[in-house]
């Protein structure tokens, strides 16, 4: 298991978020490399197929496309994106060998039922992939906000400390907030 060295001012992570509109075939993924001191240090872009099965490969490709050795962790704004295109956090960790943290902001129930509804003929494979993600853990930030995490390659306490360090206010860590803004801007200006 890798450790996240929060004491390093130059600690860098890649945060990935997405944006799409109803009727789109693909969603736009945006990645922001941000240092511990909140300096933006790079960008990456990708796409994931709506209702597809390519989100994991898209995230790995975005990271690899940066060609950098100084990124210490990846933050993902959700692991179920692009209308049930599931990011396999274990596969991302296996490919990158750095801590991977999937962040969501509210409890979600009934995912299996929603998958069965959207994929009546092929739901079993997606449900199995979803179940392999494992349970989410609820954590509280110094801001008083709760997040739900799935982590791979680090422990929950380290992930929480990292998110506390990158969250100035509210619930959204700065790297994910900027990635979400960038993804939305890419949507508006393809």
pLDDT of the chain along its 190 residues, tens only? 566 766 777 799 999 999 999 999 999 999 999 999 999 999 999 999 998 999 999 999 999 999 999 999 999 999 989 888 999 999 999 999 999 999 999 877 666 667 766 676 666 676 777 777 778 899 999 999 999 999 999 999 999 999 999 999 999 999 999 999 999 998 777 6
Q: Topology of 12-188 in CATH? A: archaeoglobus fulgidus dsm 4304 fold (3.30.2170)
Q: How much is the pLDDT for 156? A: 94
Q: How many angstroms separate the CA atoms of 100 and 69, rounded? A: 15
Q: How many angstroms separate the CA atoms of 95 and 182, rounded? A: 25
With beta carbons less than 8 A apart as the criterion, state whether 116 and 105 touch: no
Phi first, then psi, for residue 29 (nearest 5°) are: -105, 140
Q: How many angstroms separate the CA atoms of 190 and 173, rounded? A: 25
Q: How many angstroms separate the CA atoms of 58 and 171, rounded? A: 26
Q: How many angstroms separate the CA atoms of 116 and 55, rounded? A: 19
How many Cβ atoms from other residues are within 10 Å of residue 168's Cβ? 11
With beta carbons less than 8 A apart as the criterion, state whether 149 and 140 touch: no
Q: How many angstroms separate the CA atoms of 85 and 50, rounded? A: 7
Domain ranges of the chain: 12-188
DSSP 179: H
Residues whose CB falls within 8 Å of the CB of residue 76, separated by 6 or more in sequence, listed in order: 15, 16, 59, 87, 89, 92, 100, 101, 102, 103
């Amino acid at each position: 298991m890798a450790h996240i060295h929060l004491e390093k001012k130059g600690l860098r992570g890649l945060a990935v978020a997405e944006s799409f509109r109803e009727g789109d075939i693909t969603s736009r993924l945006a990645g922001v490399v941000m240092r511990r001191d909140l300096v933006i240090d790079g960008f990456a872009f990708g796409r994931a197929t709506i209702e597809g099965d390519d989100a994991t490969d898209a995230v790995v490709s975005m990271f690899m496309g940066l060609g950098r050795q100084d990124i210490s962790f990846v933050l993902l704004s959700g692991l179920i994106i692009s209308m049930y295109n599931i990011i396999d956090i274990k596969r991302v960790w296996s490919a990158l060998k750095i801590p991977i943290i999937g962040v969501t902001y509210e409890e979600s129930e009934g995912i299996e039922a929603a998958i069965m509804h959207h994929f009546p003929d092929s739901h079993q494979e997606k449900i199995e992939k979803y179940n392999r993600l494992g349970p989410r853990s609820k954590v509280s930030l110094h801001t008083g906000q709760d997040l739900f995490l799935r982590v791979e390659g680090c422990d929950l306490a380290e992930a929480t400390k990292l998110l506390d360090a990158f969250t100035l206010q509210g619930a959204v860590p700065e790297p994910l907030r900027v990635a979400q803004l960038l993804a939305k801007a890419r949507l508006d200006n393809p």
